[in-house]
Amino acid sequence: MVETLHPEWPAPPQVRALQTLRGGGCSPAPWDSCNFGDYVGDKPERVAANRARLRPLLPSEPCWLRQVHGITVVDAATVDTTAGAPEADAAFARQPGTVCAVMTADCLPALFCDRAGSVVAAAHAGWRGLADGVLEATVAAMNAPPSEVLAWFGPAIGPRCFEVGGEVRSAFVEHDPAAASAFQPAGDGKWLADIYTLARQRLMAIGVTAIFGGGHCTMSERERFFSYRRDDVTGRMATLIWLA
């Protein structure tokens, strides 16, 4: 059985969401075991088998994305799930039964809904997409007042493990000087970045203040999560949301 956790946030009852963990699949090492990524070297038939194990937990086949660390957001209801994944890093849905999904292994997965339970969204935010505005683009695509939007952050690399170069810090601080608080010096021109804090800052700046989740570290919690930085070749977890 696919191992999952459920977001703890005050979403309306018609909003359903889940986060997969690394257990419960059929892939061998180094993708062990529940890998959903079809672009990480795992055999396609094993990825398909893992996705088939996930399917009974969902109302429909997810709108899988070909993630490119950009800010494109698609309407999941308009995507033909049999025609290949669209190039995008976020998706939203207003139609019940349409599943938005993102895959991660250190990057930040973010889920969204409005308080009325009329729209949901999922976004993939690596540092580049986060700096370029993928979360803001996702909220804009939802077409709901930011004050009515709830956000939940899934497992990402933690602030004690996310070492970045000065150019990453500069990209955020140039946008908002307050972002400097999310970076701690690590020596030799390197910095430890808190991706959860950076994401909260970006959302709060546009009026989204109901933010939940965060606190996990994919890199240090080896038994539960995939981590690209830790293992290089590894699987991908899925973060999914839909309206019942």
At 152-183, the pLDDT tens digits run 999 999 999 999 999 999 999 999 999 999 99
Cis preceding linkage at 30, omega within 30 = yes
**How far are the Cα atoms of 38, 72, 162, 232, 234 from residue 93, in angstroms, in the given order?**
23, 14, 31, 32, 29
The pLDDT confidence band at residue 82, using thresholds 50, 70 and 90, is: confident
CB 113 within 8 A of CB 11: yes
Closest Cα partner for 5 from 26, 22, 25, 28? 22
CB 150 within 8 A of CB 235: no
Query: How does pLDDT run across 26-51, given as a tens digit for each residue?
Result: 999 999 999 999 999 999 999 999 99
Euclidean distance between CA atoms 44 and 216, whole angstroms: 29
> For position 134, what pLDDT does the model report?
98
β-pairing, 90-93 with 73-75?
A: parallel
Residue 94 identity: R
pTM for the predicted model, two decimal places = 0.97
The pLDDT confidence band at residue 114, using thresholds 50, 70 and 90, is: very high
> For position 83, what pLDDT does the model report?
81
What does R_g of the chain's alpha carbons equal in angstroms? 17
Mean per-residue pLDDT, 12-30: 98
Mean per-residue pLDDT, 182-208: 97
Q: Is the pLDDT assigned to residue 240 strictly greater than 80? A: yes
> For position 128, what pLDDT does the model report?
97
The pLDDT confidence band at residue 84, using thresholds 50, 70 and 90, is: confident
Mean per-residue pLDDT, 224-239: 98
Q: What are phi and psi of 11, to 5 degrees?
A: -75, 150
CB 23 within 8 A of CB 36: no
The pLDDT confidence band at residue 81, using thresholds 50, 70 and 90, is: confident
Percent of the chain residues topping a pLDDT of 90:
98
Euclidean distance between CA atoms 92 and 214, whole angstroms: 21
